[in-house]
C-alpha cells in the first residue's frame, strides 16, 4: 500500500549538490538517500498561486522508497508519497 500526503509532509533536506537532495529528516529521523530513481519538474497553474516543484523519487539507506518534492517558490521540502 502507498501512503499519500497530497499537500506534502514537511521534511528537512541536506543537499548533495545544488538542487539535489542528499539526505532528509522526517519526523525526527534521518534518511540518507541511496539513489535517485527519477526526477521531474512541474510548473502549473501560474494563473493562480502557481505550482513550481521539483520532484524526486528516491530510495534511502533506511529502506524507504519515497517521492519528495522541493517547492521552488518557498524553498521548502516535503514528502508526498511513501511506497510500501
Partner 1 sequence: MNIYIELHCHSNFSLLDGASHPEELVSRAAQLGMSALALTDHNAVYGAARFIRAAQEYGIQPILGAELTLAEDDNPDHSHHLTLLVENQAGWHNLCYLISRAQHNAPKGQAVLPFAELTGCTNGLIALSGCRHGLLATAVSSRKSRQISRKTAVSAARRYLDLFGRDNFYIELQNHYRPDDGLRNGRLTALAHHLKLPCVVTNNVHYHTPERHQLQDVLVCIRHLTTLDESAHLRRLNGEYYLKTAGQMAALFPDQPQAIANTLHIAGRCQFELHYGLQDLPSFPTPHGMSTGAYLRRLCQEAIGQRYPQPASRLQEQVNHELTIIERAGLANYFLIVWDIVRYARQNGIRCQGRGSAANSLVAYLLNISPVDPIAHDLVFERFLSQERAIAPDIDLDFDAARREEVIQYLYGRYGADHTAMACTFVTFRAKSAIRDIGKALGLTPELVATAVHALEMAQSPKADNETEQGALKLLLDLGEQIEGFPRHLGIHSGGMIITGSPLMGRVPTEPATMPDRVVVQWDKEALEDVGLVKIDILGLRMLSAISDAAALIGESTGERPDLDTLAFTDTAIYEMIGTADTIGVFQVESRAQAQMLPRLKPTCFNDLIVAISLIRPGPIQGNMVHPYLRRRQGLEPVTYLHPLLEPALAETLGVILFQEQVLKVARDLAGFTPGQGEQLRRALSAKRATEEIEKFRAAFITGAQAKGVTPVIAETVFEQLLAFGGYSFAKSHAAAFAVLVYQSAWLKRYYPHAFYAALLNNQPMGFWNAAVLVNELRRQGFPVLPVDIHTSQPTCGLEGNGIRLGFNYVKGFHEEHIDRIMDGRMQRPFTSLADFCQRTHLPRTITENLILCGAMDGWSLPRRQLLWELGTLHLPENGLPLDITPEPVSLPPLTTAEAMLAEQSVLGLSPGDHIMALYRAELRKHYILGSQEVTAVPDGQWVQVAGLLVVHQSPPTAKGFHFLTLEDEAGMMNVIVSPQVYGRYRSTIRSERLLLAQGQVQQQGGVTNVLADKVSGLR
- When asked if residue 46 is in the footprint of partner 1 (CB under 8 A), the reply is yes
Minimum distance from residue 5 beta carbon to partner 1 (Å): 19
Alpha helices, DSSP H only, in the chain?
A: none
Q: Which is nearer to partner 1, 46 or 74 (CB)?
A: 46
Minimum distance from residue 40 beta carbon to partner 1 (Å): 4
Cβ–Cβ < 8 Å for 3, 25: no
Cβ–Cβ < 8 Å for 44, 51: yes
Exposed/middle/buried for 19, CB within 10 Å: 0-12, 13-18, 19+? exposed
Number of residues counted as binding partner 1 (CB under 8 A): 12
- When asked if residue 5 is in the footprint of partner 1 (CB under 8 A), the reply is no
Among 6, 7, 38, 63, indicate the residue that binds partner 1 (CB under 8 A): 38
Cα–Cα distance between 33 and 18 in angstroms, integer? 15
User: What residue ranges bind partner 1 (CB under 8 A)?
Assistant: 38-47, 54-55
Amino acid at each position: 500500500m502507498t501512503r499519500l500526503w497530497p499537500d506534502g509532509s514537511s521534511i528537512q533536506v541536506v543537499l548533495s549538490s545544488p538542487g539535489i537532495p542528499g539526505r532528509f529528516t522526517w519526523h525526527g529521523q534521518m534518511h540518507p538517500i541511496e539513489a535517485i530513481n527519477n526526477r521531474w519538474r512541474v510548473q502549473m497553474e501560474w494563473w493562480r498561486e502557481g505550482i513550481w516543484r521539483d520532484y524526486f523519487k528516491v530510495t534511502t539507506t533506511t529502506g524507504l522508497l519515497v517521492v519528495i518534492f522541493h517547492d521552488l517558490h518557498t524553498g521548502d521540502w516535503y514528502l508526498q508519497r511513501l511506497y510500501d
